[in-house]
Amino acid sequence: MATAAEISEYDTEELERHLGETRRELFNLRFQLATGQLDNFSRMNHVRKDVARMLTELRNREIAEAEGMALDLLPAHQAAARRRSEDEAKGRDRSTASERRAAARAEAEERAAAEAPAEDDEADDETGDDAGEDD
């Protein structure tokens, strides 16, 4: 099963060749299903999804070409890219709750680390003053 990232790395000719092979495999799987020879039924779903991924990538490239965009500039997920640009324009932060919690934890750790040396310096000053008095 090919991932979307792997599919996007193919050039257009190679992608069309893989699409033909995958469609042929899907045809053979359907034939095996009809004749009762298919052992792995989930393979049909995987192949169908591979075909859909390839068709989606080809369509994205077609749209990018029509709009005159470079393929590198084409967002992998159009809706997410649109929301992100709208949020940036309005100055909104669209982060997940887990990202916000992780940032808060990191901030708390930084504050604790900044306070810890200050406390150590105060302790050193106190012992240093005592040592100075003993001389």
96 backbone dihedrals φ, ψ, rounded to 5°: -80, 165
The pLDDT tens digits for 5-42 are: 888 888 889 999 999 999 999 999 999 999 999 999 99
Is 11 in contact with 54 (CB distance < 8 Å)?
Answer: no
- Which regions of 3-112 does DSSP assign to beta strands (E)? none
Nearest to 6 by CA among 70, 57, 72, 80: 57
Residue type, 5: A
Under the banding of pLDDT at 50, 70 and 90, the label for residue 75 is: low
Domains of the chain: 4-94 (1.10.287.310)
Instruction: Map residue 25 onto helix, strand or coil.
Output: helix
Overall pTM surpassing 0.75 (yes/no): no
